[in-house]
Structure 1
Amino acid sequence: MDLHTVTEVVSPARAGQWRPGDAWLAGGTALFGEPRPGVVRLLDLAAAGWPPITVRDDGLEIAATCTVAELSRFGGAQRFTAFHGLTTGCCQAFLASFKIWNVATVGGNLCAALPAGPMIALTAALDGQCLLLGPDGERRVPVTAFVTGDGRTVLRDGELLRSVTLPAGSLTGPTAYRQGSLFTHGRSAALLAGRRTPAGGFVLTVTAATVRPYQLRFPAMPSEQDLVDGIGDLIPDDAWTDDVHGLPAWRRHLTVRFAREIRAELAA
């Protein structure tokens, strides 16, 4: 969709250049997906040249401008088995053409904050920390707190998402993943990721079925009943997504079913 109100593009852009009427541009698949009559200037982040993925001693840093294709192709740091175990499934949850894979970015998917955003599921499941840059400096926010609702984040005026850091302690161990939708190639109605921690704990992340990511953490493998009770205690009734892609009651049913399957798989 043309953004006919835009009169200027700043490229490359950097933190501190934002002013009212600006929009940060990375891949643009969300930005150009609907009318934006209030946008008059685009700040091009893709031209900043940030390395897509940086392997560090303490984990992985994924630039906000890293595309889905770059993330999917990344074969380094094989010791981070949990990362590689979940990345393939989450990338495939886009159910999009290669054109979208080569343009859509990790940061754009997080900032769009759609319940079905698979990059939200991936980075939340691996305890990702968002690095935000803005007029008042930088701050770090967990992915689970970055997305606050359907289309809502904690971003303030002028802030941008620079990267997501995944700590090494969350990148190893067995994982399991479940995704369900109304149709074979439909938008995710429930997207769950589970993993065992190095200390024997169990972490379950619920997305798509809920308007924001929810995470359950147990010091050891929980019983099936404790897991189901935990879902009921953690996720309020008004947090289940309600749209044309699935009713809340059905999404909750899928979530409980998938949680049981993930628990059984990782307990085996």
Structure 2
Amino acid sequence: MDLNTITEVVRHPGDRPGAHWREGDAWLAGGTWLFSTEQPDLRRLVDLTALRWDPLVRDAAGLEIGATCTVRDLYAFAPPDDWRAGGLLAASCEAFLSSFKVWNSATVGGNICMSLPAGPMITLTVALEAEYELWPPDGPARRVDALDFVTGDHQNVLAPGEILRRVRIPGRALEKHAAHRRFTLTHLGRSTVFLIGTRTPGTDDLLLTVTAGTTRPVRLAFDTMPDARTLQQSIDAIPAHLWFADPNGTPEHRHHLTTYFAEEIRGELTAGV
């Protein structure tokens, strides 16, 4: 779509692009959402791809994902064998409501910053206990737990001019056992619910991440594997106002699916103890 209110595109921003942020600006990375709808309040686009941030960096601490890393690059990444949860990277890419053509442009950071309930990069990074590095317009960078970044449907903690620079996933989370479940109304549809459970090797703990069915991610943590009743009670305790409603499902439907799939995940991870 033509954005007929745009008067300038900043092709080569400085290394700290937020320093020159002004009202009416938008960060441009993949642009797959930006160019899909009218943006009447925008006057200037700031092209982040010119900064050439490394898309993926594997080191002793885990995995670093640059905010401008494309879905295609993440999907193509081959995790090492000792990253038991590494399969979640590709599985989360496959949860996008988009074609492979969009994968060539859509970015990990863009999906996170859109902060939609069904954002699969949010599901992935919260489940793997990631940390986001945010760059304010001025001052030092700050780090935010992925769980705390999204605050509601299309809402997050970013301040005006602040930018998501990178995502850090710790190696200890990638080494966990993992199981996931996802439901859509159609084969390639938007997620109605998307759940991921992880278990630390040699223990019977459980970390269950609930997304898509709620307006923000919900994490249920257990030091020991809960029984079915305890798990259901924990899901029932999720505040009613957090359950999401849209054409893909009612809050009641999403609550039911979450309970059903959470028990499947519990059973799958219990079998591996």
1:110 corresponding residue in structure 2: 112
Alpha-carbon separation, structure 2, partners of 1:236 and 1:156: 26
Residue type of the alignment partner of 1:119: M
2:267 corresponding residue in structure 1: 264
Among 193, 200, 210, the alignment partner of 1:206 is 210
Work out the percentage of aligned pairs sharing the same amino acid: 50
Instruction: Give, in angstroms, the shift of residue 76 of structure 1.
Output: 4.3
Residue type of the alignment partner of 1:218: F
Structure 1 residues 57-136: aligned runs within 5 Å: 57-82=60-85, 84-135=86-137, 136=139
Alpha-carbon separation, structure 2, partners of 1:34 and 1:143: 27
Secondary structure in 1 matching 2:46? strand
TM-score when normalising by structure 1: 0.96
2:233 corresponding residue in structure 1: 229
Instruction: Give, in angstroms, the shift of residue 106 of structure 1.
Output: 0.5
Secondary structure in 2 matching 1:51? coil
Shift of the 224–10 alpha-carbon distance from structure 1 to 2, 3 Å rule, reads same
Residues 74-119 of structure 1, C-alpha deviations (whole Å, 9 max, x = no match): 014443221x221121111114211111111100000001111100
Secondary structure in 1 matching 2:141? strand
1:157 corresponding residue in structure 2: 160
Among 142, 145, 149, the alignment partner of 1:142 is 145
TM-score when normalising by structure 2: 0.94
Alpha-carbon separation, structure 1, partners of 2:55 and 2:82: 19
Structure 1 stretches lacking a partner, 5+ long? none
Alpha-carbon separation, structure 2, partners of 1:39 and 1:137: 27
Alpha-carbon separation, structure 2, partners of 1:189 and 1:95: 11
Structure 1 residues 8-27: aligned runs within 5 Å: 8-13=8-13, 14-27=17-30
Structure 1 residues 19-58: aligned runs within 5 Å: 19-58=22-61
Residues 122-180 of structure 1, C-alpha deviations (whole Å, 9 max, x = no match): 00000011100012331111111100000001000110000110111211121111110
Structure 1 residues 174-189: aligned runs within 5 Å: 174-189=177-192
Secondary structure in 1 matching 2:191? coil
Task: Indicate conservation of the 8 Å contact 1:87/1:122, yes or no.
Answer: yes
Structure 2 stretches lacking a partner, 5+ long? none
1:251 corresponding residue in structure 2: 254
Shift of the 174–2 alpha-carbon distance from structure 1 to 2, 3 Å rule, reads same
